[in-house]
């Protein structure tokens, strides 16, 4: 009965339009009251959930991403990608994917990727004769790279939700190859669709322009090098690398590119504070929610249900993927990471999956949910920028969904894709 109350109040909160964090927190408090547990235990769980040192990295990563968005780095990354691959058939589609790979590795946010690059590329693509649905679909699906290619604050949430026994550094390293693989499959899909629709490539601007574009983009790209390189080398912790990355981003955008003025700096700070506050409230409430999931042995119950269907890992992993994909269509990514990790991770480990591999699979699944209706934040942003209806985009987006699904299956059933680099850097 307690478990029914927990999930019942949670889904009721979502149905009436309450923010996810409040729905999670209210469900936990009501269930604590039903079980006769002291309420101070619930608040202890909430406070212990946010009193984790590694969570300090999240505001730094978010702030660095906002600075990238407001400081001109995205513009230079697009120019670099255009000079490098724009001459291919459907060149601007490939440019879009390449830019997402570069910018996603800096911002760590799919929504920031869609907003920044979409505002630059979607109008240009439409002007060059590309259909609006193609421009939106490429932008939206390629933005998923932002949650997989490091640095990604969602990986920090996963490490915390998993109980703190998983290295964020190892997760960052594990996301590199899958993130590149996703972009490669999307580039293939963009090329195939471009050929079928008769799109042409851009004129190659020359090696001198390519070199100049690289030189202009290099200071911005160094942000990712500082953040990821500092962690991999062991010189900096994840939190320290986030802080240094944010400081470096301020220096680059204000002194090198000279595009970060006082107004845009204020906007970056304000948005970072809002996003960080939402994340921290959600983390605290999810900690109390996860305590009750453990109390009711939900992972064990789910394992028994899945084993009742099949005891073959290949089938279990497919069902876990489908469950995560379905949930990703309905809920916010951060909330799902915090709620689903304590439930699904023990099941995946029970059937022999490495927790780091499962973390990357979760990022990919829930990232795909960001570009699927009915709650796809990236899809909404892309359609607003492209000035088309969601139904129009969804009708022709399936080749890009297929490309992401191929990458997801490779990561799921070929562990080496996500685990080779982490093992190499141990």
Is residue 35 in a domain? no
What whole-number distance in Å separates Cα of residue 123 and Cα of residue 136? 10
What whole-number distance in Å separates Cα of residue 183 and Cα of residue 138? 10
Is residue 22 in a domain? no
Structural contact between residues 337 and 154, judged by C-beta atoms closer than 8 angstroms: yes
Domain tally, the chain = 1
Spatial neighbors of 312 by CB under 8 A, at least 6 apart, are none
Residue 151: alpha-carbon gap to chain centroid: 10
Is residue 29 in a domain? no
Domain that includes residue 333, residue range: 54-277+298-424
Buried b (16+ CB within 10 A) or exposed e, 247-267: ebbbebbbeebeebeeebbee
What whole-number distance in Å separates Cα of residue 399 and Cα of residue 141? 10
Q: How many CB atoms lie within 10 A of CB 80?
A: 24
Q: How many CB atoms lie within 10 A of CB 153?
A: 27
What whole-number distance in Å separates Cα of residue 272 and Cα of residue 59? 7
What whole-number distance in Å separates Cα of residue 302 and Cα of residue 317? 13
Structural contact between residues 147 and 112, judged by C-beta atoms closer than 8 angstroms: no
Is residue 397 in a domain? yes
What whole-number distance in Å separates Cα of residue 364 and Cα of residue 369? 9
What whole-number distance in Å separates Cα of residue 389 and Cα of residue 290? 38
Q: Looking at residue 253, what DSSP letter applies?
A: I
How confident is the prediction along the chain (426 residues), in pLDDT tens digits per residue?
778 898 888 888 878 878 778 888 899 999 998 888 888 888 888 888 788 777 888 888 888 878 877 787 777 877 787 777 767 776 778 877 887 777 766 666 677 777 777 777 788 778 778 888 998 999 899 888 878 888 788 888 899 888 777 888 899 899 999 999 999 999 999 989 988 888 876 777 778 888 888 888 888 878 777 877 787 777 888 888 888 888 988 998 888 888 888 888 998 899 888 888 888 888 888 888 888 888 888 777 887 888 888 888 999 999 999 989 888 887 778 888 888 898 899 989 988 999 999 999 999 998 888 888 766 778 888 888 888 888 888 889 999 999 999 999 999 999 999 999 988 876
The per-residue pLDDT for range 45-94, each reduced to its tens digit, is: 888 878 877 788 888 888 887 887 778 777 787 778 777 776 777 677 88
Helix, strand, or coil (residue 45): helix
Is residue 39 in a domain? no
Residue 247: alpha-carbon gap to chain centroid: 23
Angle between the 333-350 and 313-328 helix axes, to the nearest 10 degrees?
Answer: 170
What whole-number distance in Å separates Cα of residue 271 and Cα of residue 269? 6
Structural contact between residues 147 and 367, judged by C-beta atoms closer than 8 angstroms: yes
What is the reported pTM?
Answer: 0.86
Structural contact between residues 68 and 107, judged by C-beta atoms closer than 8 angstroms: yes
Q: How many CB atoms lie within 10 A of CB 320?
A: 24
């Amino acid at each position: 009965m307690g478990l029914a109350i927990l999930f019942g109040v949670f889904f009721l909160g979502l149905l009436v339009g309450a923010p996810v964090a409040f729905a999670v927190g209210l469900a936990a408090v009501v269930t604590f009251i039903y079980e006769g547990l002291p309420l101070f235990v619930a608040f202890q769980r909430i406070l212990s959930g946010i009193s984790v040192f590694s969570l300090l990295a999240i505001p730094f990563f978010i702030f660095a991403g906002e600075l990238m968005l407001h400081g001109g780095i995205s513009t230079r990354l697009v120019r670099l990608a255009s000079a490098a691959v724009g001459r291919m058939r459907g060149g601007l589609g490939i440019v879009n994917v390449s830019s997402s790979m570069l910018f996603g590795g800096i911002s760590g946010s799919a929504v920031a990727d869609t907003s920044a690059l979409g505002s630059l590329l979607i109008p240009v693509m439409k002007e060059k004769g590309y259909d609006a649905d193609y421009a939106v679909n490429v932008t939206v699906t390629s933005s998923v790279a932002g949650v997989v290619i490091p640095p990604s604050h969602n990986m920090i949430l996963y490490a915390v939700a998993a109980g703190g026994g998983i290295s964020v550094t190892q997760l960052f390293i594990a996301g590199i190859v899958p993130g590149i693989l996703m972009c490669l499959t999307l580039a293939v899909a963009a090329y195939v669709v471009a050929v079928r629709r008769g799109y042409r490539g851009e004129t190659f601007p020359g090696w001198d322009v390519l070199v100049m574009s690289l030189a202009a983009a290099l200071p911005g790209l160094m942000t990712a090098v500082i953040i990821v390189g500092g962690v991999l080398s062991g010189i900096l912790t994840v939190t320290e690398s986030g802080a240094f990355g944010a400081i470096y981003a301020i220096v680059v955008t204000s002194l090198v590119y000279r595009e970060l003025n006082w107004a845009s700096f204020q906007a970056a700070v304000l948005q970072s504070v809002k996003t960080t506050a939402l994340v921290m409230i959600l983390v605290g409430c999810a900690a109390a929610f996860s305590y009750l999931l453990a109390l009711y042995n939900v992972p064990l119950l789910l394992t028994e249900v899945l084993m009742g269907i099949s005891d073959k890992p290949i089938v279990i992993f497919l069902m876990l993927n489908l469950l995560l994909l379905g949930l990703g269509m309905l809920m916010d990514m951060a909330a799902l990471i915090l709620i689903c990790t304590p439930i699904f991770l023990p099941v995946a480990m029970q059937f022999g999956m490495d927790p780091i591999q499962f973390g990357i699979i979760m990022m990919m699944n829930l990232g795909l949910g960001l570009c699927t209706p009915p709650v796809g934040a990236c899809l909404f942003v892309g359609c607003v920028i492209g000035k088309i209806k969601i139904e129009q985009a969804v009708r022709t987006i399936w080749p890009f969904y297929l490309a992401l699904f191929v990458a997801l299956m490779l990561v799921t059933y070929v562990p080496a894709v996500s685990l080779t680099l982490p093992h190499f850097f141990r």
